[in-house]
């Protein structure tokens, strides 16, 4: 007999039926039993294909066929959902799913992490992953509606290392990107094991976290007229000129989507990072290059619309740090900045927080 994912099987001893949802290896299968609403590990010799003749049940041993779903690919991997016999009536929105990869004893060895989008909207995403306060991974890009992608694996022991995901999300519209939605997800083992749910698009039970249940809340700002009346248009234009806050609210926002997706929330101003193959330079020349890179980066951060960035300047004599502080203090788009100890940068970086 041949066993593949999706094969309907019958238990030899009890007659119960289920569907293979995963091939575990070592002649073990994970079989989903609909009546019990759960998947359990089963030895190959304990089941037979439901469509096979019952006379051959005891004599035939199953052969495992590893399907494409079991191949490991470098994250992130974009996937379209498998064909399903049902339609999603109510969207969960944007979700993060942890799909357990089981060992032979049916305990979890690790979890494959999926970012799911079961809405009709394309999104931009930016995700930082930290363990024990140390940044380990950064992901950014686009995710189409009704699709999902793999972000790699979380080993089971790392559940105790305070894993944290910081997720920023923008809805893509014909006018540009919408306003940013943000979420900080801190995994706590006790709550994690209670988050069992059948994930849309994956069509199997996972540890599921709903990040943004209403992606439409990410609205696009626009200056388009809501009325064809010249009189109404004139009134609104006058009001905008008199009130700067109104002007900012109605100002048309144009964002380069690729710039948003690829923007990094830190810049390293060490001269070796800015000019890898530099000629011999004076300290003043180096400082001019560093400040120019800083000014361009802050301008880009404001244009993209991020909440905060880190400027890595090192310790040294403190000259570069002081000049950066002077510029930040004069920038009206900067809410605050601070140079405190950080596990990633030590004392050599300044955190900059912008207006929303």
Residues paired with 290 in a beta bridge: none
* The pLDDT of residue 88: 52
* The pLDDT of residue 65: 47
Percent over 90 (pLDDT), the chain: 27
pTM of the shown model: 0.44
* The pLDDT of residue 178: 66
Contact 317, 310 (CB under 8 A): no
What are the domain boundaries of the chain? 2-68, 72-217, 263-354
Q: What is the token pair recorded at 319? A: 């000259």
The DSSP line for 34-74 is TTTTEEEEEEGGGEEETTS-GGGTTT---EE---GGG---P
Percent over 70 (pLDDT), the chain: 72
Q: Find out if CATH 2.40.30.10 is the number for domain 2-68.
A: no
Burial of 215 (0-12, 13-18, 19+ CB in 10 A): buried
- Between CA 344 and CA 355, with CA 349 as vertex, the angle to 5 degrees is 105
Q: Find out if CATH 3.30.1370.110 is the number for domain 263-354.
A: yes
Q: Is 247 helix (H, G, I), strand (E, B) or coil?
A: helix
Q: For 116-126, write each residue's pLDDT tens digit.
A: 999 988 998 99
Q: What is the mean pLDDT of residues 313-329?
A: 89
Fold that domain 72-217 belongs to in CATH: Immunoglobulin-like (2.60.40)
Q: Hey, which of 17-21, 47-51, 118-122, 255-259 has the most confident mean pLDDT?
A: 118-122
How confident is residue 224, by pLDDT bands cut at 50, 70 and 90?
very low
**Torsion angles phi and psi, residue 147, rounded to 5:** -150, 170
């Amino acid at each position: 007999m041949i066993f593949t994912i999706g094969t309907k099987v019958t238990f030899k001893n009890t007659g119960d039926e289920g569907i293979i949802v995963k091939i575990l290896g070592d002649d073990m299968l994970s079989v989903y039993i609909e009546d019990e609403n759960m998947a359990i590990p089963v030895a190959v010799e304990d089941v037979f294909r439901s469509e096979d003749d019952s006379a051959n049940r005891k004599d035939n041993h199953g052969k495992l066929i590893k399907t494409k779903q079991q191949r490991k690919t470098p994250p992130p991997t974009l996937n379209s959902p498998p064909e399903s016999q049902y339609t999603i009536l109510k969207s969960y929105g944007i979700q993060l799913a942890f799909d357990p990869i089981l060992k032979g004893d049916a305990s979890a060895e690790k979890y494959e992490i999926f970012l799911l989008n079961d809405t009709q909207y394309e999104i931009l995403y930016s995700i930082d992953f930290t363990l024990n306060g140390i940044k380990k991974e950064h992901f950014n890009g686009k995710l189409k509606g009704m699709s999902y992608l793999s972000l790699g694996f979380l080993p089971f022991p790392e559940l105790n290392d305070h894993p944290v995901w910081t997720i920023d999300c923008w809805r893509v519209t014909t006018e540009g990107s919408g306003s940013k939605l943000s979420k900080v997800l801190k995994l706590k083992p006790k709550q994690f094991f209670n988050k069992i749910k059948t994930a849309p698009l994956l069509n199997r039970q996972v540890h599921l976290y709903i990040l943004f249940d209403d992606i439409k809340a990410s609205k696009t700002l626009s200056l388009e007229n809501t009325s064809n009346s010249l009189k109404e248009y004139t009134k609104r234009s006058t009001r905008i000129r008199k009130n700067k806050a109104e002007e900012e609210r109605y100002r048309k926002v144009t964002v380069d989507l690729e710039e948003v997706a690829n923007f990094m929330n830190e810049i390293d101003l060490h001269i070796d990072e800015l000019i890898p193959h530099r000629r011999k330079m004076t300290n003043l020349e180096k400082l001019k290059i560093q400040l120019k890179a800083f000014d361009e980066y802050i301008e880009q951060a404001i244009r993209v619309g991020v909440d905060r960035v880190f400027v890595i300047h090192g310790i040294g004599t403190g000259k570069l740090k002081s000049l950066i502080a002077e510029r930040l203090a004069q920038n009206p788009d900067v809410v605050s900045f601070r140079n405190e100890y950080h596990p990633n940068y030590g004392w050599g970086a300044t955190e900059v927080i912008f207006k929303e």
